[in-house]
Amino acid sequence: MLTENTMERLRILTESAKYDVSCSSSGTVRGGKKGMVGNTVGGVGICHSFADDGRCISLLKVMLTNSCMYDCAYCVNRRSNDIPRATLSVTELVDITMEFYRRNYIEGLFLSSGVVRNPDYTMERLVAIVRELRTRQRFNGYIHLKSIPGASPELLAEAGRYADRMSVNIEIPKEESLKLLAPEKDHQSVFQPMKRIQQGVIENREDRRHLRHAPRFVPAGQSTQMIVGATKETDRDILTMSSMLYAQPTMRRVYYSGYISVNTYDPRLPVLKQPPLVRENRLYQADWLLRFYHFKVEEIVDDQTPDLDLEIDPKLAWALRHPEVFPVDVNKADYEMLLRVPGLGVKSATLIVNARRYGNLSSFDLKKMGVVMKKAKYFITCHELASPLPGAMPGINELRPERLRALLVSPQERKMAEKEQQLSIDFGV
Amino acid sequence: MTFYTFDGTLDGLLTAVFDAFERHEAPEKLLAAGDMLPLFCEQVHEVVTDEAKAKRVWAGLEKRLSREALRMISVSWLSELPELANPLFGYVCKTFRQPAGVSIERNFADPDVLAVTNIARKVLHEQLRMKQFIRFQKANDGTYLAVVAPDHNVVPLVITHFADRFNDQPWLIYDAKRHYGYYHEGGGAPVRVTFEDESAVPFNLADGKLSDEALSADDHLMQELWRTYFKAICIRERMNPRKQLKDMPRRYWKFMTEKQ
């Protein structure tokens, strides 16, 4: 039975869970079934609300307990922190999930936990909750379960049958930095469960080829998270790690979490007045380029520019470094090339490819279709823009990249980037 | 210059298309009943809605357009926007003038196709918002109630989603702006309901709240738990009310538990 007392513990455990950025409910389509509660819609999932920090609320993101035996420097829940600790019982968590779900507050549950006693003990209790939800409550909505590093393969296998998505967080992209901040952990403890989950998914795929009704195993794949700005890694280190992870067949999302100074007293960590939000945003843009725009890491960051430009987005930065491929003719260029034009996204490129079958497109047509020309106009030619007559639009090659760059950075973007750079100067360590 | 007037229904618009072809005319503009006639109006034809004619036009569309395009047309009609009539009329006429096998449905450089598609997109966007922001309260008879007031008439688009998701619970989604709703109970398809006397219903149409007598015993606690969760999940160092407003416009807040 839920009471007022539950509320205080829910508050504590939510505050402890909120630094995990993943919240998506994507990746599985599962229709409702008679005698069961819920479905999953796939696509990009459904966000049910947006908190005051602008982040979406899709799942009930909560910890089973925030007591933890580890002492990782970047984590609020480290054992040396003096914060209120709480634990929810299995029935309480199951009740809250079902009641919230039935009122259309959430898409499902995102459950993680601090490690108590040992990894197996903790994992067992996590599995007990999802087992109860799936078998007794007949819950058919979305479940995202954190896997506890070091838990036994049997528990992982059982958890995978109930969960839609599982995740293990890398947190720090380089092992030596991780060793510094979390001496009790290493990369192996993260990669091993990842590999196990992947193996499970691949075996399950094989099984389902022979037995159509074999229960699915982690159908929505895995995700992971890296903290940005807590250690000295460059964007190149981070993105190289991401692209390595995306090469794995079950890795769906890598999240980036701008470091928030939660443990200000720890000398191993930088003191940031404000989380590095611009850098985090640029990393997500680069991540999108990797996943949807056919870019390679080496094209986004290289030896000369190991960090992303904070003032301009990574695609524009790439275009300014490669003026030789422009201008692109929107009436002839293939889809991949259109995607490389700054300002054109997947939506605009698709619109153009569809519409140009009916006739040549002019810049006026593009504008009408809703293509944002602010940046794109310097990189494309279409009918009239291609004309060699005086008065034609000057492109990137006439203007030179460095002058164009100055034109395209808005004062607001420049101010935000400057502010963030100043804040990161007093980096500790 | 020729103008057509019609009664503002979809059947009326399709009949107008039929008339235009029968009379070999290309009307300048389609006017809804009650619209003011423009100056210099030489010829006005009043379209008399005829279901049989409308059906023939729709059947013709089914032959010439893909299912996706037909769905976009039906969806765009739910927008209830007066500015839809003319682009849609143009879109349908052009479809019949095209040589067979060449559909204009993806020619987004055509202003009519683009306008209809954009309006349909707006409607689809709002139906997604309903799936996101509808909030149920549990009444003491076990029915879950949600009140909404969307800009476009999108409730018919979301009921299959909710019937699939909550197939074992009776629910009522009520559109306070259009004074009708859908009720679903166990198994069958949701049924359309209206109330003869809206003032007698046990919920407030302005904020969607069930009256205290009708609310189930633990619902207050659940709502309070949800509000607690909503406050706790926010990271204060990252406050971004502009993003919140962009993704969750204020006009939806009045029916949302966490913002009440």
Query: In the β-sheet with B29-32, what is the strand arrangement from edge to edge?
Result: B29-32, B2-6, B43-46
- Report pTM: 0.91
Question: What value does the mean pLDDT take over residues A205-220?
Answer: 90
Is residue B17 over pLDDT 50? yes
Using one digit for the tens of pLDDT, what is the confidence trace for A52-80? 999 999 999 999 999 999 999 999 999 99
Residue A146 CB-density burial (10 A; 0-12 exposed, 13-18 middle, 19+ buried): buried
What was the ipTM of the complex prediction?
A: 0.92
B257 contacts B145 by C-beta, under 8 angstroms: no
Residue A370 CB-half CA count within 13 A: 15
- Predicted confidence band of residue A428 (pLDDT cuts 50, 70, 90): very low
Question: What value does the mean pLDDT take over residues A18-31?
Answer: 88
Question: What residue type is B131 in one-letter code?
Answer: K
Is residue A391 over pLDDT 90? no
Residue A380: closest CA among A337, A345, A351: A337
A52 to B234: CB separation less than 8 angstroms, yes or no: yes
> What span, in angstroms and rounded, lies between the C-alpha atoms of A254 and A13?
24
Using one digit for the tens of pLDDT, what is the confidence trace for A356-368? 988 888 888 888 8
CA of A140: which chain B residue's CA is closest? B165
Question: What value does the mean pLDDT take over residues B118-133?
Answer: 96
Question: What value does the mean pLDDT take over residues B134-153?
Answer: 95
CA of B233: which chain A residue's CA is closest? A18
Question: What value does the mean pLDDT take over residues B80-95?
Answer: 94
Using one digit for the tens of pLDDT, what is the confidence trace for B236-260? 888 999 999 999 999 999 999 999 8
A50 to B247: CB separation less than 8 angstroms, yes or no: yes
What is the distance in angstroms between the CA of the first residue and the CA of the last residue of chain B? 54
pLDDT value of residue A393: 66
CA of A32: which chain B residue's CA is closest? B164
B172 beta partners: B145, B183
Q: Which of residues 66-105 of B touch A (CB under 8 A)?
A: 104
Assigned token pair, B215: 């609310």
- Predicted confidence band of residue A429 (pLDDT cuts 50, 70, 90): very low
Domains in chain A: boundaries:
4-300, 323-408
pLDDT value of residue A390: 47
Task: Give the range among A56-60, B29-33, B70-74, B192-196 with minimum mean pLDDT.
Answer: B29-33
**Percent of chain A beyond pLDDT 70?**
96
CA of B248: which chain A residue's CA is closest? A50
pLDDT value of residue A423: 66
pLDDT value of residue A55: 93
Distances A90 to A102, A130, A209, B227 between C-alpha atoms, Å: 18, 9, 35, 21
- Predicted confidence band of residue B68 (pLDDT cuts 50, 70, 90): very high
Distances A355 to A153, A334, A352, B104 between C-alpha atoms, Å: 52, 13, 5, 9
A253 beta partners: A223
Using one digit for the tens of pLDDT, what is the confidence trace for A73-117? 999 999 999 999 999 999 999 999 999 999 999 999 999 999 999
pLDDT value of residue B1: 75
> What span, in angstroms and rounded, lies between the C-alpha atoms of B48 and B18?
11
Using one digit for the tens of pLDDT, what is the confidence trace for A233-272? 999 999 999 999 999 989 999 999 999 888 888 888 888 8
Q: Which CATH architecture has domain A4-300?
A: Alpha-Beta Barrel (3.20)
B237 to A351: CB separation less than 8 angstroms, yes or no: no
Smallest Cβ distance to B233: which of A18, A47, A369?
A18
Collect all residues of chain A within an 8 Å Cβ-Cβ radius of residue B171: none
> What span, in angstroms and rounded, lies between the C-alpha atoms of A393 and A377?
8
Nearest CA to CA, how far is B135 from chain A (Å)?
6
Task: State the sign of the Cα–Cα–Cα–Cα dihedral A202, A205, A209, A214.
Answer: positive
Contact with chain A for residue B229, Cβ under 8 A: yes
- Predicted confidence band of residue A384 (pLDDT cuts 50, 70, 90): low
Contact with chain A for residue B234, Cβ under 8 A: yes
A370 to B118: CB separation less than 8 angstroms, yes or no: yes
Collect all residues of chain A within an 8 Å Cβ-Cβ radius of residue B161: 41
Q: Which residues contact A228 (CB under 8 A, 6 or more apart)?
A: A238, A256, A257, A258, A259, A276, A279, A280, A283
A31 to B229: CB separation less than 8 angstroms, yes or no: no
A429 contacts A270 by C-beta, under 8 angstroms: yes
Nearest CA to CA, how far is B95 from chain A (Å)?
14
Collect all residues of chain B within an 8 Å Cβ-Cβ radius of residue A420: none
> What span, in angstroms and rounded, lies between the C-alpha atoms of B51 and B32?
18
Conformation bin of residue A396: beta by default, left when phi > 0, alpha when psi is -120 to 50: alpha
- Sequential DSSP letters for A270-290: ---SS--HHHHHHHHHHHHHH
Distances B177 to B55, B133, B139, B191, B192 between C-alpha atoms, Å: 30, 16, 22, 18, 15
Question: What value does the mean pLDDT take over residues B154-177?
Answer: 94
Q: Which of residues 163-202 of B touch A (CB under 8 A)?
A: 163-169, 187
* β-bridge pairing A56-57 and A251-258: unpaired
Is residue A308 over pLDDT 90? yes
Quick check: helix, strand or coil at residue A205?
A: helix
B107 to A358: CB separation less than 8 angstroms, yes or no: yes
A369 to B114: CB separation less than 8 angstroms, yes or no: yes
- Predicted confidence band of residue A304 (pLDDT cuts 50, 70, 90): confident
Using one digit for the tens of pLDDT, what is the confidence trace for B206-235? 898 999 899 998 999 999 999 999 999 999
> What span, in angstroms and rounded, lies between the C-alpha atoms of B31 and B34?
8
Using one digit for the tens of pLDDT, what is the confidence trace for A264-290? 888 888 888 888 999 999 999 999 999
Is residue B43 over pLDDT 60? yes
What is the distance in angstroms between the CA of the first residue and the CA of the last residue of chain A? 49
Average pLDDT, chain B: 92
Collect all residues of chain B within an 8 Å Cβ-Cβ radius of residue A368: 109, 111, 114
Smallest Cβ distance to B165: which of A14, A39, A355?
A39
Average pLDDT, chain A: 90
Collect all residues of chain B within an 8 Å Cβ-Cβ radius of residue A56: 247
pLDDT value of residue A111: 95
Is residue A370 over pLDDT 60? yes
* β-bridge pairing A142-146 and A165-167: parallel
